[in-house]
């Protein structure tokens, strides 16, 4: 939708019944999303009006339970790589756009009970942060070493869900079962939580505006 003229344009999605989820607009104004049911990442260039897709590799990772919901291309200029998550088996993927090589992490493979990954968000250095909606964790994957570090929210069983990274590398997210929103400072590794005034609000997502207001 053109905000000035209100002109509406439509494009057919690259995969029939791909079921895209969250849309992210990168710094170069290209559009990124994951196809919920096809196990693909997708890219749309508004200038050329063309799509490009990448299927999860190796192919055996694209199982019936695969759910690639979220992408994080916002810091891809750092190293040419894009992050995504896989709700089907609590995994994190990263693709090198130049080589097409995929990497996969399974943070909870050794103790999968109760854990699942909802969102993945990159910081300014393209390190990945992910939310464990099944429990109360925020995880970090170092972009250079691949090392995983886990951090527990102050409230147990908070159910971290969707979020965003602000320009100070602070991760904001909803605490679905704690009736709160939270901020994780990736530099100090400290959390802050704010309870909602109404009970059972089940905060789903958080975004912060330029004035420092969290919505």
Please check the confidence at residue 136 and state whether its pLDDT lies above 80: yes
Q: 19: pLDDT confidence band, cut at 50, 70 and 90? A: confident
pLDDT at 120: 97
As given in the structure block, the two tokens for residue 42 are 């997708």
pLDDT digits (tens, 9 = 90+) for 162-183: 999 999 999 999 999 999 999 9
Beta carbons of 15 and 35 less than 8 angstroms apart:
yes
Q: What does the pLDDT read at residue 46?
A: 94
pLDDT at 161 over 90: yes
Pick from 102-106, 113-117, 134-138, 178-182: least confident: 113-117
Separation CA 152–CA 161 (nearest Å):
14
**How many CA atoms, within 13 angstroms, populate the side-chain half-sphere of residue 40?**
18
- In the predicted structure, residue 112 carries a pLDDT above the cut 80: no
Segment 66-83, tens digit of pLDDT:
889 999 999 999 999 999
């Amino acid at each position: 939708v053109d905000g000035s003229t209100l002109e509406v344009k439509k494009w057919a999605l690259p995969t029939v019944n791909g079921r895209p989820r969250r849309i992210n607009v990168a710094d170069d104004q290209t559009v990124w999303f994951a196809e919920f049911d096809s196990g693909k990442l997708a890219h749309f260039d508004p200038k050329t009006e063309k799509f490009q897709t990448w299927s999860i590799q190796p192919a055996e990772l694209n199982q019936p339970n695969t759910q690639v919901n979220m992408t994080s291309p916002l810091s891809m200029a750092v190293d040419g790589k894009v992050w995504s998550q896989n709700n089907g088996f609590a995994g994190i993927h990263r693709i090198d756009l130049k080589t097409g090589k995929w990497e996969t992490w399974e943070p909870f493979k050794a103790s999968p009970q109760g854990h699942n990954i909802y969102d993945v968000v990159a910081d300014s250095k393209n390190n990945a942060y992910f939310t464990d909606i099944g429990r109360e964790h925020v995880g970090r994957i170092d972009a250079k070493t691949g090392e995983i570090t886990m951090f527990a929210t102050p409230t147990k069983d908070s159910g971290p869900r969707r979020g965003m990274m602000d320009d100070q590398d602070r991760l904001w997210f909803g605490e679905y079962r704690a009736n709160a929103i939270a901020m994780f400072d990736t530099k100090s590794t400290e959390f802050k939580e704010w309870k909602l005034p109404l009970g059972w609000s089940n905060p789903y997502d958080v975004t912060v505006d330029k004035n420092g207001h969290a919505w």
